[in-house]
Chain A
Protein backbone atom coordinates (compact mmCIF):
# COMPACT_ATOMS: atom_id res chain seq x y z
CA UNK A 1 0.00 0.00 0.00
CA UNK A 2 1.55 3.26 -1.13
CA UNK A 3 -1.43 5.46 -0.49
CA UNK A 4 -1.34 9.03 0.70
CA UNK A 5 -4.84 10.40 1.30
CA UNK A 6 -5.63 14.09 1.09
CA UNK A 7 -8.85 15.83 2.07
CA UNK A 8 -10.70 17.70 0.84
CA UNK A 9 -10.23 17.10 -2.88
CA UNK A 10 -11.52 20.58 -3.71
CA UNK A 11 -11.72 23.71 -1.59
CA UNK A 12 -13.01 27.18 -2.35
CA UNK A 13 -12.31 29.82 0.26
CA UNK A 14 -12.54 33.55 0.64
CA UNK A 15 -9.55 35.69 1.47
CA UNK A 16 -10.73 36.16 5.07
CA UNK A 17 -11.47 32.50 5.73
CA UNK A 18 -9.49 30.00 7.77
CA UNK A 19 -9.35 26.47 6.46
CA UNK A 20 -7.17 23.38 6.80
CA UNK A 21 -5.91 20.76 4.40
CA UNK A 22 -5.35 17.26 5.73
CA UNK A 23 -3.00 14.49 4.69
CA UNK A 24 -2.80 10.96 6.04
CA UNK A 25 -0.56 7.98 5.39
CA UNK A 26 -0.38 4.58 7.06
CA UNK A 27 2.84 3.31 5.55
CA UNK A 28 4.89 4.04 8.65
CA UNK A 29 6.70 6.84 6.84
CA UNK A 30 8.46 9.34 9.07
CA UNK A 31 8.97 12.10 6.49
CA UNK A 32 6.08 14.11 5.11
CA UNK A 33 6.05 16.98 2.65
CA UNK A 34 3.83 19.74 1.33
CA UNK A 35 4.20 20.82 -2.28
CA UNK A 36 2.38 23.52 -4.23
CA UNK A 37 1.69 23.03 -7.93
CA UNK A 38 0.42 25.71 -10.29
CA UNK A 39 -1.16 24.77 -13.60
CA UNK A 40 1.29 23.37 -16.17
CA UNK A 41 4.19 23.72 -13.70
CA UNK A 42 6.16 21.22 -11.64
CA UNK A 43 5.50 20.81 -7.92
CA UNK A 44 7.37 23.24 -5.66
CA UNK A 45 8.45 22.21 -2.19
CA UNK A 46 6.92 24.15 0.71
CA UNK A 47 7.64 22.20 3.91
CA UNK A 48 9.36 19.04 5.06
CA UNK A 49 8.63 17.24 8.32
CA UNK A 50 10.91 14.59 9.72
CA UNK A 51 9.79 12.60 12.76
CA UNK A 52 7.00 15.12 13.34
CA UNK A 53 9.43 18.04 13.46
CA UNK A 54 9.63 20.78 10.85
CA UNK A 55 12.86 20.24 8.99
CA UNK A 56 12.57 22.56 6.01
CA UNK A 57 10.50 25.67 5.36
CA UNK A 58 11.13 26.96 1.85
CA UNK A 59 10.48 30.59 2.82
CA UNK A 60 6.74 30.06 2.68
CA UNK A 61 4.55 33.04 3.75
CA UNK A 62 3.15 32.78 7.27
CA UNK A 63 -0.40 32.59 5.95
CA UNK A 64 0.47 28.91 5.40
CA UNK A 65 1.01 27.11 8.69
CA UNK A 66 1.93 23.42 8.71
CA UNK A 67 1.30 21.03 11.56
CA UNK A 68 2.27 17.41 12.12
CA UNK A 69 0.21 16.11 15.07
CA UNK A 70 1.52 12.55 14.74
CA UNK A 71 3.53 10.36 12.42
CA UNK A 72 0.53 9.60 10.20
CA UNK A 73 -1.01 13.03 9.84
CA UNK A 74 0.03 16.29 8.26
CA UNK A 75 -2.08 19.43 8.16
CA UNK A 76 -1.74 22.71 6.36
CA UNK A 77 -3.62 25.58 7.98
CA UNK A 78 -4.61 28.42 5.68
CA UNK A 79 -5.46 31.96 6.70
CA UNK A 80 -5.82 35.24 4.80
CA UNK A 81 -4.83 33.72 1.50
CA UNK A 82 -4.56 35.62 -1.75
CA UNK A 83 -6.05 34.64 -5.14
CA UNK A 84 -2.54 33.85 -6.39
CA UNK A 85 -2.39 31.08 -3.76
CA UNK A 86 -4.91 29.14 -5.82
CA UNK A 87 -3.16 25.91 -6.83
CA UNK A 88 -3.03 22.16 -6.35
CA UNK A 89 -1.56 21.37 -2.94
CA UNK A 90 0.16 18.04 -2.80
CA UNK A 91 1.18 16.02 0.19
CA UNK A 92 3.91 13.40 -0.07
CA UNK A 93 5.60 10.97 2.27
CA UNK A 94 8.75 8.90 2.34
CA UNK A 95 10.17 6.37 4.74
CA UNK A 96 12.74 8.79 6.07
CA UNK A 97 14.23 12.08 5.05
CA UNK A 98 17.43 10.65 3.64
CA UNK A 99 18.43 11.23 0.06
CA UNK A 100 17.35 8.65 -2.43
CA UNK A 101 14.23 7.47 -0.67
CA UNK A 102 11.09 7.05 -2.75
CA UNK A 103 8.41 9.64 -2.14
CA UNK A 104 4.74 8.97 -2.75
CA UNK A 105 2.25 11.70 -3.49
CA UNK A 106 -1.40 12.10 -2.65
CA UNK A 107 -4.03 13.15 -5.18
CA UNK A 108 -3.87 16.74 -4.02
CA UNK A 109 -6.32 19.38 -2.88
CA UNK A 110 -7.41 21.81 -5.58
CA UNK A 111 -7.61 25.15 -3.78
CA UNK A 112 -9.37 28.18 -5.20
CA UNK A 113 -9.13 31.49 -3.33
CA UNK A 114 -11.84 33.99 -4.23
Chain B
Protein backbone atom coordinates (compact mmCIF):
# COMPACT_ATOMS: atom_id res chain seq x y z
CA UNK B 1 0.00 0.00 0.00
CA UNK B 2 0.86 3.67 -0.06
CA UNK B 3 3.22 5.14 2.55
CA UNK B 4 3.34 8.89 3.07
CA UNK B 5 6.11 10.46 5.12
CA UNK B 6 5.90 14.05 6.33
CA UNK B 7 8.53 16.37 7.73
CA UNK B 8 9.04 18.18 9.98
CA UNK B 9 6.72 17.02 12.75
CA UNK B 10 6.87 20.44 14.41
CA UNK B 11 7.72 23.82 12.94
CA UNK B 12 7.91 27.24 14.58
CA UNK B 13 8.28 30.40 12.53
CA UNK B 14 8.13 34.09 13.20
CA UNK B 15 5.11 35.92 11.89
CA UNK B 16 5.77 37.08 8.35
CA UNK B 17 8.29 34.34 7.61
CA UNK B 18 7.70 31.44 5.26
CA UNK B 19 6.95 27.85 6.27
CA UNK B 20 7.67 24.76 4.20
CA UNK B 21 6.37 21.26 4.87
CA UNK B 22 7.55 18.30 2.82
CA UNK B 23 6.01 14.92 2.05
CA UNK B 24 7.16 11.87 0.17
CA UNK B 25 5.03 9.02 -1.10
CA UNK B 26 5.81 5.51 -2.25
CA UNK B 27 3.14 4.44 -4.74
CA UNK B 28 3.69 5.81 -8.23
CA UNK B 29 -0.02 5.20 -8.93
CA UNK B 30 -0.96 8.03 -6.57
CA UNK B 31 -1.99 11.06 -8.56
CA UNK B 32 -3.90 13.38 -6.24
CA UNK B 33 -2.30 15.15 -3.30
CA UNK B 34 -4.44 17.28 -0.98
CA UNK B 35 -3.28 19.28 2.02
CA UNK B 36 -5.46 19.64 5.08
CA UNK B 37 -5.27 22.10 7.96
CA UNK B 38 -6.64 20.93 11.29
CA UNK B 39 -7.18 23.36 14.12
CA UNK B 40 -7.57 22.14 17.68
CA UNK B 41 -10.91 20.42 18.22
CA UNK B 42 -11.94 20.69 14.57
CA UNK B 43 -12.02 18.47 11.54
CA UNK B 44 -9.44 18.68 8.74
CA UNK B 45 -10.06 21.50 6.28
CA UNK B 46 -8.93 21.16 2.67
CA UNK B 47 -6.68 24.13 1.90
CA UNK B 48 -5.08 23.23 -1.42
CA UNK B 49 -4.54 20.22 -3.63
CA UNK B 50 -2.54 19.24 -6.67
CA UNK B 51 -2.88 16.60 -9.35
CA UNK B 52 -0.05 14.74 -10.98
CA UNK B 53 -0.34 16.54 -14.30
CA UNK B 54 0.61 19.82 -12.62
CA UNK B 55 3.95 20.80 -11.07
CA UNK B 56 2.84 23.76 -8.99
CA UNK B 57 -0.33 25.39 -7.79
CA UNK B 58 -0.83 28.64 -5.89
CA UNK B 59 -3.68 30.12 -3.93
CA UNK B 60 -2.83 33.49 -2.39
CA UNK B 61 -0.24 32.81 0.34
CA UNK B 62 -0.30 29.04 -0.11
CA UNK B 63 1.46 27.04 -2.80
CA UNK B 64 2.07 23.37 -3.40
CA UNK B 65 4.77 21.83 -5.60
CA UNK B 66 4.94 18.28 -6.88
CA UNK B 67 7.89 16.30 -8.19
CA UNK B 68 6.49 13.05 -9.56
CA UNK B 69 9.86 11.65 -10.49
CA UNK B 70 11.17 12.00 -6.96
CA UNK B 71 7.74 11.25 -5.46
CA UNK B 72 7.64 14.25 -3.20
CA UNK B 73 5.43 17.26 -2.75
CA UNK B 74 5.64 20.32 -0.55
CA UNK B 75 3.42 22.97 1.00
CA UNK B 76 4.70 26.54 1.08
CA UNK B 77 3.05 29.21 3.21
CA UNK B 78 4.35 32.74 2.76
CA UNK B 79 3.85 35.76 5.02
CA UNK B 80 2.69 33.52 7.84
CA UNK B 81 0.13 34.80 10.32
CA UNK B 82 -0.77 33.57 13.82
CA UNK B 83 -4.03 32.11 12.46
CA UNK B 84 -1.94 29.78 10.30
CA UNK B 85 -1.01 27.92 13.50
CA UNK B 86 -2.49 24.43 13.23
CA UNK B 87 -1.61 20.85 12.34
CA UNK B 88 -1.12 20.31 8.62
CA UNK B 89 -1.56 16.92 6.98
CA UNK B 90 -0.50 15.96 3.50
CA UNK B 91 -2.20 13.04 1.79
CA UNK B 92 -1.95 10.89 -1.30
CA UNK B 93 -4.90 9.29 -3.02
CA UNK B 94 -4.87 5.97 -4.80
CA UNK B 95 -7.54 4.73 -7.17
CA UNK B 96 -9.36 2.25 -4.99
CA UNK B 97 -12.16 4.06 -3.20
CA UNK B 98 -10.43 7.43 -3.36
CA UNK B 99 -8.65 6.43 -0.17
CA UNK B 100 -6.43 9.07 1.33
CA UNK B 101 -3.19 8.01 2.91
CA UNK B 102 -2.23 10.75 5.31
CA UNK B 103 1.18 11.89 6.41
CA UNK B 104 1.91 12.01 10.12
CA UNK B 105 1.18 15.73 10.42
CA UNK B 106 3.16 18.91 11.06
CA UNK B 107 2.31 21.12 14.00
CA UNK B 108 2.96 24.67 12.82
CA UNK B 109 3.27 27.50 15.32
CA UNK B 110 3.48 31.07 14.07
CA UNK B 111 4.98 33.31 16.73
CA UNK B 112 3.60 36.86 16.75
Residue ranges of A at the interface with B (Cβ–Cβ < 8 Å): 2, 4, 6, 31, 40-43, 45, 48, 50, 55-56, 90, 94, 96-108, 110
Interface centre among A43, A55, A99, A101, by most chain B C-beta atoms within 10 angstroms, is A99
- Chain A binder among B13-21, B77-85, B89-97: B89-97
21 A-B pairs (CB sep. < 8 Å): A31-B98, A41-B104, A41-B105, A43-B102, A45-B99, A48-B97, A48-B98, A94-B98, A97-B98, A99-B32, A100-B93, A101-B32, A102-B46, A102-B49, A104-B46, A105-B36, A105-B45, A105-B46, A106-B43, A108-B43, A110-B41
A56 to B44 alpha-carbon distance, docked (Å): 21
**Count, chain B residues at interface, CB 8 A:** 25
A19 to B109 alpha-carbon distance, docked (Å): 37
9 closest A-B pairs by CB = A42-B102, A100-B32, A105-B43, A99-B95, A56-B97, A48-B97, A107-B43, A105-B44, A108-B43
